Amino acid sequence: MREPPVLAVRSLTKSFGAVRALQDVSLRLHAGEAHALAGENGAGKSTLIKTLAGVHRPDGGTLVLDGEPVVFNGPADARDAGIAVIYQEPTLFPDLSVAENIFMGRQPVRSLRRVDHKAVRAATAALFARLGVDLDPDQPARGLSIADQQIVEIAKALSLDARVLIMDEPTAALTGSEVARLFGVVRSLREQGAAVLFISHRLEEMFTLCQQVTILRDGALVSSEPLSGLTEDDLVRRMVGRDLDALYPKLDTERGAVALSVRRLTREGVFTDVSFEVRRGEIVGLAGLVGAGRSEVARAVFGVDRRDAGEVRVGGKALTNGAPSVAMAAGLALVPEDRRAQGLVMDMSIERNIGLTGLRSTVRAGLMDRGAERRRSLDWAVKLQVKYARIADAVATLSGGNQQKVVLAKWLATRPDVLIVDEPTRGIDVGTKAEVHRLLSQLASEGVAVLMISSDLPEILGMADRVLVMHEGRITAEIPRAEATEESVMAAATGRAA
């Protein structure tokens, strides 16, 4: 006989205005079990998570903890009940140390209510040892990579000794070794009796870690069943309601003239002597482990960061060092890795975010033509299938994947000659991922030069005409599509290839 669930959701409903986010959704989480929650962006996963975490109050339905109905009046109630959430986007205080972030509001104290900083550091070090990571508890959170920020969030959740651990895309910015380490920790928590709700757009991770899966579509429950009897194709079919075309729809294209030329690019202490070219009509993949310097090279090429040496040319024209506006005028676009901090103005509307890169084109007689801006934004929102209630809503109201689509729309609206995309499908569901890949392939077929940075090796191998691999700030290999394999790319990424 199976034990009763630690946490159960019965017939949950939740609406935001006219938008029905959840419709009669039920879920059961059992001790010692990892349960996957699957669905496209906008399916209701985030709303369900926030309801379990006490952020949202349901309009209908019941939450049952250890067989008793409960009502969470806020996140503190959920936390006190033993429910910890690791959200997709880290939410750290940048000016506090790593240790202070983990124990914020729960610091051990000495006499006279003074914080025991030594005990905080020791407890943080013990958590990192449990995770198998080497982070300094006294290091400020500002400047941490997304991978390290995620590790801090995981340590924060572990410090709560949670009985229910909800993990929303925890592996999105982690390397293969970091993912393996995290899964080891999750298995250990399961063995100790924790119930885990795991959300990921990487289907292979669900099959690796989880025993059960619940699938949502358009806010409604599609199925809740064991994973052992399903295939990835079965999951995709339930999630999107149809058979999915090829995930990597790469078109054969004719390579044209050199569109982007980078020569001996150097930024001291970050990357050294980086040279490569991207031609019109081709997709060049830039691979490597987290921290190899891939994103930093992209930022220096676009002019966000100043380079110490080297030259960047677009269409044969040299770009001014540290001048993004000059890069944009030359036909260069950059979709950044961190959409919330670098790609969007979160309090601004969807319409205005998409329109930010085209302000000059929508000015008439010194005044903003709001009609032209709206038409432009709506056109691209439709092309990328952004799910929203109103185009005038704040972009912060969108799911993570739909926010990523808005960033893509903003830059594609500039009609660039060279498009640099840094982790373009991070946090995007499988259906939308295929659409983004189709879009990148279509752009290349139209003569756009695409430089794609990705930590997803199948994505690199499936979409790139050539693969450049970075290791510790240097390009260690250039591999043609026909010769690129996971083994050859990883060998170069770990410094094992000449």
Residue 457's closest CA among 293, 287, 336?
Answer: 287
Q: Give this prediction's pTM.
A: 0.68
Cβ–Cβ < 8 Å for 197, 164: yes
Q: Which residue ranges form the domains of the chain, and what is each CATH number?
A: 7-92+144-240 (3.40.50.300), 258-493 (3.40.50.300)
52: left (phi over 0), alpha (psi -120 to 50) or beta: alpha
Ranges of the chain with pLDDT below 70: 1, 88-89, 146, 173, 175, 242-245, 360-366, 497-498
Structure confidence at residue 25 (pLDDT): 96
Structure confidence at residue 293 (pLDDT): 94
Strand, coil or helix: what is 117? helix
Return the number of other C-beta atoms located less than 10 Å from residue 265's C-beta. 22
- The 10s digit of each residue's pLDDT in 406-463 is 998 999 889 999 999 999 987 777 777 888 898 899 999 999 999 999 988 889 999 9
Could you write out the three-class secondary structure of 377-392? HHHHHHHCCCCCCCCC
Distance CA 398, CA 395 (A): 6
Distance CA 21, CA 354 (A): 24
Helix H or strand E segment including 260: strand 258-267
Distance CA 316, CA 338 (A): 30
- Sign of the Cα torsion 88, 213, 8, 217 reads positive
- Sign of the Cα torsion 242, 245, 246, 247 reads negative
Cβ–Cβ < 8 Å for 385, 435: yes
- Sign of the Cα torsion 320, 325, 327, 331 reads negative
- What radius of gyration, in Å, describes the C-alpha atoms of the chain? 23
Burial 192-216 (b: 16+ CB within 10 A, else e): eebbbbbbbbbbebbbebbbbbbbb
Structure confidence at residue 366 (pLDDT): 67
Residue 27's closest CA among 15, 37, 18, 19?
Answer: 37
Cβ–Cβ < 8 Å for 36, 211: no
- The 10s digit of each residue's pLDDT in 24-49 is 999 999 999 999 999 887 789 989 99
